[in-house]
Amino acid sequence: MEWGAGDDELNSYFTSSGVSTIEIIDDNNVAGLNKISVECWQVACKLLSRDTFIANIPEVNMVNKTIIEMVLERINLKNSSSPNNEVNILFNNSVSNHIFFDGTVAATNVQGGEGDDTFQIGQLYNSSRTDEANVSSDDPIETVVTTNGYLSNGCKQKLTIHGGEGNDTFDILRNKCILDFKGDSGDDIFVSRAWVLHVPEVYDETLEFVGIDGGDGTDIIKFIGSVGDDSLVFEDDAIYGTKPITQVMHRYLFVFDFIVLTRMYT
């Protein structure tokens, strides 16, 4: 399908069954507001977001690293550069869902469900994301090389996530966009990870602001340090980190009723 002039919207349901693909060609009309709305209704979803698509991949069967069978529901957005595009994802269920972000096709809003959902920003890979890793050139993944592996960007456009009910986990590996986390109800965990860049004495200063509103319940912010020397600065309403030879730590704004701070090293 092709988006034309004016406002366009696609409403789709993921059923966690079968194989399907929807192809959208963006007209890049800056005057129109285009929306992709996806709902996981009464089924558990395992979503993957990248710069060119959103997919539900709840089941993959492999033999000797070869995919034999899989469930795949995918929405592609091609040739998109319009700043007015928007993605809305709704987990309308009471089970546990997972969503992993290597990138974003547009500014994205996620609404968690009643279960214990997991939201991960950025992924760590053992190798560069090329054809040799079975990554199509049509679906490129930008990464930065760390001493632990290849780390994806996580996102480029603003990402807002509401945890909904349940005890949810928000896990930040890397973010190239503004993150806005709303824990809502339940006992939620917010995790920030730091990495040592492979190139010595190089700062990664392109990471963006992270805002956290824990909502109701007892919420935990957990910092997982790098193998290098890490430092944190605590202020009344924010935490700042400066990390020599590593990416700059995320910056947080807190609106918590009760905070438990935990620091771990790997």
- The mean predicted confidence, pLDDT, of the chain is 81
Q: What are phi and psi of 11, to 5 degrees?
A: -110, 125
Report residue 190 CA to chain centroid gap.
Answer: 13
For residue 77, being part of any structural domain is answered with yes
Q: How far is CA 214 from CA 108, 178, 191, 209, 235, in A?
A: 19, 17, 12, 16, 17
Domains contained in the chain, number: 1
Give residue-wise pLDDT tens across range 33-68.
889 999 998 899 999 999 999 999 998 776 676 666
Which tokens belong to 46?
A: 């395992």
1 within domain boundaries: no
Q: How far apart are CA 116 and CA 132, in angstroms?
A: 35
**Range of the structural domain that residue 106 is part of:** 8-265
Residue with the bigger pLDDT between 217 and 248: it is 217
Residue 84 has pLDDT above 90, yes or no: no
Is 38 part of any domain? yes
Most confident among 42-46, 115-119, 235-239 (mean pLDDT): 115-119
Per-residue tokens: 62: 């492999």
Is 195 a member of any domain?
Answer: yes
Domain-embedded: residue 3: no
Does 212 map to a domain? Answer: yes
pLDDT category at 248 given cuts 50, 70, 90 is: very low
Most confident of 109-118, 173-182, 218-227: 109-118
Tally of CA atoms within 13 A in the half-sphere of 130 that contains its CB:
3
Q: Which of 34-43, 120-129, 171-180, 205-214 has the lowest mean pLDDT?
A: 205-214
pLDDT band at 170 (very low <50, low <70, confident <90, very high): very high
The SS3 call for residue 251 is coil
Q: Is residue 87, in this structure, part of any structural domain at all?
A: yes
pLDDT at residue 214, rounded to an integer: 85
Q: Are 46 and 74 a contacting pair, CB within 8 Å?
A: no
Q: What is the pLDDT of residue 122?
A: 95
Q: Is the pLDDT of residue 241 over 80?
A: no
Neighbours of 131 (CB within 10 A): 8
Mean pLDDT: which of 167-171, 199-203, 221-225 is highest?
167-171
Mean per-residue pLDDT for 238-252?
45
Phi then psi for residue 133, to 5 deg, are -100, 20
Residues with Cβ within 8 Å of 231's Cβ and at least 6 positions away in sequence, in order, are 241, 242, 243
The answer to whether 22 and 13 are in contact (CB under 8 A) is no
